[in-house]
Amino acid sequence: MGAVRLQETLTVDSTRRRFLQTAAAGLGASVLPQAQAARATTQLTAGVLMQQVRAAGPRTTAWGFNGSVPGPALRFRQGEDAVIRVHNRLPQSTTVHWHGLRVPNAMDGVPQVTQPPIEPKDEFLYGFRCEDAGTYWYHPHQSSFEQVPRGLYGAFIVQEAKPLPVDREVVWVISDFKLDGRNQQVEDFGRVVDFGSGGRLGNTIAINGKAAGAHQRLQVRPNERVRLRLVNASSARLFLLDFAGHEPWVVSYDGQSVEPHPLREPLLMGGGQRTDLVIDGTAGRGEFAIMDKRDKGTRLATIAYAGKAVRARPLGKPAAIQPNRHVEPNLTTATQHFIVFEGGVLGMPAIAAIDGKKLDVKTIMEHHGLSWTMNYTAQHEHAMMHEPLFRFRKDEHAVIRMINRTDFEHPMHLHGHFFQVVAVDGRAVPQRIWRDTVVMAPRQEMDIAFVAENVGEWMFHCHILDHSAGGMMGTIGVE
Ligand code: C2O
Ligand code: CU
């Protein structure tokens, strides 16, 4: 069925979808620089599996990479070429997107926009140079509102040329599952009510694919230095992380170095975001709760001390990680753009075009189940995206004012680029950091600035995956 739909799309839109020629030329190899020989190809197989998610009771049927949820943490050195063959053993077509990595457009893993979907039993070769160090992750971009919560995600780590000195490194991919009494996933993906509200939330938060709770232990020795790489791989859930008895150092957001600073307030992480923390075993003994402070509060894990002191004294402020290459946007010459978000169960889009067709609000709500608009239009499938929201010249400096006229938070993600939040509700932000995903608060206005340096058509969407499926996705073009 996927194949049929793809064909239709291509006849409708074959001039714009340049990936056809690229695909024919044999991907991967054509985009990899020749100079550096790539190491052996990484094999990544998406398939159905069984996993003990909850500590008690039967195993859960899930979808995952290489037989587990999360999939393997892929590790490369900065500057190294990644060559990854993705095999599809799912009952649906899929793709893999390398969230946060500045890859060539044809390697970005967006069905219909950058590549044809990988049909069941088929495979696709991805290849790109890992220019940017940091913590990233990978997940499908095909039916992501279903494929991600079923378990298709994993960490993607690019080691700095000069790694931060730590005693140990821990990766936590945090997500949630919606499980029934027999520990099986509730098969209610794609409900209109989830598209229009906070998204489909699970009832079981998981760390590295195992149910969170006091029993999840982060073992630390006195004065030990641990680097904790956090990835929020949830399809809808935001976390507000609190580390009792400790003030971890924040060393990067979305893989991009920041001046190390102690975490004095709970850490908000929207879907798709990453944070690297350095935790020093300063408390020396005892057990401390790691909590998610959202809603009523959930115990996620325990920092548990054990063993002999690693050193006599804690290490103190860590050095900053060497930043990746970034071009500072020039705000005085930058072009200005606006994007208005409307919709959701508590709001209504003023007027909307859906997949290119103008429709009145009543029809939209009654027949389409689409709940969100971006600049008064909704595009609910990659195949239907005929026009980018914005077009930029290569190397154009740009500011986009994102106007959230909804009562919901939206973690907004731009592909292929990093941006800085330069103003919130019209007030300049003095401390500018680089991100690829930022949480817009309800009714907030947020200005993001970036340099459109990566040629191609790039997704710009909400990372509550039910929202993007419900209309909150579009593209920007850089040419
Ligand atoms: Cu994490 Cu468009 O994706
Ligand atoms: Cu959203």
Regarding whether 299 and 267 lie in a shared domain, the answer is: yes
Regarding whether 241 and 266 lie in a shared domain, the answer is: yes
Residue 379 has pLDDT above 90, yes or no: no
Distance 195 CA to ligand 2 centre (A): 9
Regarding whether 155 and 202 lie in a shared domain, the answer is: no
Distance 379 CA to ligand 2 centre (A): 14
Distance 148 CA to ligand 1 centre (A): 10
Burial label, 211 (beta-carbon count in 10 A; 0-12, 13-18, 19+): buried
Q: pLDDT band at 3, cuts 50/70/90? A: very low
Regarding whether 88 and 46 lie in a shared domain, the answer is: yes
* Distance between CA atoms of residues 161 and 207, nearest Å: 28
Name the nearest CA neighbour of 140 among 70, 210, 202, 222.
Answer: 70
Counting from 1 in the atom list of ligand 1, the atom nearest the Cα of 100 is 1
CB 336 within 8 A of CB 346: no
Counting from 1 in the atom list of ligand 1, the atom nearest the Cα of 137 is 1
pLDDT digit string, tens, across residues 12-67: 333 344 444 344 334 444 445 444 445 689 999 999 999 999 999 999 999 999 99
Distance 463 CA to ligand 2 centre (A): 6
The protein residue with its alpha carbon nearest to ligand 1, atom 3, reads 99
Q: Is residue 141 within 6 Å of ligand 1 at its C-beta? A: yes
Nearest ligand to the CA of 436 is 1
* Half-sphere exposure for 48 (CA within 13 Å, toward CB): 7
Q: Is residue 99 within 6 Å of ligand 1 at its C-beta? A: yes
Nearest ligand to the CA of 145 is 1
Q: pLDDT band at 471, cuts 50/70/90? A: confident
The pLDDT assigned to 6 comes to 31
Residue 82 has pLDDT above 60, yes or no: yes
| Whole-number percent of the chain with pLDDT over 70 | 88
pLDDT digit string, tens, across residues 296-342: 999 999 999 999 999 999 999 999 999 999 999 999 999 999 999 98
CATH code, domain with 289? 2.60.40.420
Counting from 1 in the atom list of ligand 1, the atom nearest the Cα of 468 is 2
Residue 356 has pLDDT above 90, yes or no: no
Q: Is residue 417 within 6 Å of ligand 1 at its C-beta? A: no
Regarding whether 106 and 45 lie in a shared domain, the answer is: yes
pLDDT digit string, tens, across residues 257-267: 999 999 999 99
Nearest ligand to the CA of 441 is 2
Q: Is residue 100 within 6 Å of ligand 1 at its C-beta? A: no
Q: Is residue 397 within 6 Å of ligand 1 at its C-beta? A: no
When pLDDT is averaged across residues 95-110 and rounded to a whole number, the result is 98
Q: Is residue 97 within 6 Å of ligand 1 at its C-beta? A: yes
State how beta strands 419-424 and 473-478 pair: unpaired
In a domain, 283, yes or no: yes
Counting from 1 in the atom list of ligand 1, the atom nearest the Cα of 473 is 2
Out of 139, 159, 179, pick the residue that ends a domain.
159
Regarding whether 186 and 131 lie in a shared domain, the answer is: no
Q: Is residue 237 within 6 Å of ligand 1 at its C-beta? A: no
Regarding whether 296 and 190 lie in a shared domain, the answer is: yes
In a domain, 135, yes or no: yes
Counting from 1 in the atom list of ligand 1, the atom nearest the Cα of 459 is 2
Q: Is residue 461 within 6 Å of ligand 1 at its C-beta? A: yes
Q: What is the mean pLDDT of the chain?
A: 90
When pLDDT is averaged across residues 416-424 and rounded to a whole number, the result is 98
When pLDDT is averaged across residues 417-424 and rounded to a whole number, the result is 98
Number of domains present in the structure of the chain: 3
| Whole-number percent of the chain with pLDDT over 90 | 80
Residue 435 has pLDDT above 90, yes or no: yes
Q: Is residue 382 within 6 Å of ligand 1 at its C-beta? A: no
Q: What angle do CA 436, 127, 17 make, to 5 degrees?
A: 75
**Secondary structure of the chain in the HEC alphabet?**
CHHHHHHHHHHHHCCCCCHHHHHHCCCHHHCCCCCCCCCCCEEEEEEEEEECCCCCCCCEEEEEECCECCCCCEEEECCCEEEEEEEECCCCCECCEEECCCCCHHHCCCECCCECCECCCCEEEEEEECCCCEEEEEECCCCHHHHCCCCCCEEEEEECCCCCCCCEEEEEEEEEECECCCCCECCCCCCHHHHHCCCCCCCEEEECCEECCCCCEEEECCCCEEEEEEEECCCCCCEEEEECCCCCEEEEECCEEEEEEECCCCEEECCCCEEEEEEECCCCCCEEEEEECCCCCEEEEEEEECCCCCCCCCCCCCCCCCCCCCCCCCCCCCEEEEEEEEECCCCCCCCEEECCEEECHHHHHHHHCCCEEECCEECCCHHHCCCCCEEECCCEEEEEEEEECCCCCEEEEECCCCEEEEEECCEECCCCCEECEEEECCCCEEEEEEEECCCEEEEEEECCHHHHHCCCEEEEEEC
The protein residue with its alpha carbon nearest to ligand 1, atom 1, reads 99
When pLDDT is averaged across residues 219-233 and rounded to a whole number, the result is 98
Contacts of 139 (CB under 8 A, 6+ apart): 96, 97, 99, 147, 148, 152, 153, 154, 233
Nearest ligand to the CA of 416 is 1
Regarding whether 108 and 17 lie in a shared domain, the answer is: yes
Distance 360 CA to ligand 1 centre (A): 30
In a domain, 228, yes or no: yes
In a domain, 315, yes or no: no
The pLDDT assigned to 42 comes to 97
Nearest ligand to the CA of 238 is 2
In a domain, 190, yes or no: yes
Counting from 1 in the atom list of ligand 1, the atom nearest the Cα of 271 is 1
Q: Is residue 435 within 6 Å of ligand 1 at its C-beta? A: no
Q: Is residue 229 within 6 Å of ligand 1 at its C-beta? A: no
pLDDT digit string, tens, across residues 180-219: 999 999 999 998 888 888 999 999 999 999 999 999 999 9
Q: Is residue 467 within 6 Å of ligand 1 at its C-beta? A: no
| Domain extent at residue 82 | 2-159
In a domain, 366, yes or no: yes
Residue 114 has pLDDT above 60, yes or no: yes
pLDDT digit string, tens, across residues 242-257: 999 999 999 999 999 9
Q: Is residue 415 within 6 Å of ligand 1 at its C-beta? A: yes
Regarding whether 138 and 88 lie in a shared domain, the answer is: yes
In a domain, 330, yes or no: no
CB 126 within 8 A of CB 86: yes
Q: Is residue 380 within 6 Å of ligand 1 at its C-beta? A: no
Regarding whether 84 and 59 lie in a shared domain, the answer is: yes
Largest interatomic CA distance in the chain = 69
In a domain, 100, yes or no: yes
Structure tokens given for 111: 């069905």
Distance 468 CA to ligand 2 centre (A): 7
Regarding whether 177 and 45 lie in a shared domain, the answer is: no
Which residues share a beta bridge with 211?
206
Note the pTM of the prediction, 2 decimals.
Answer: 0.91
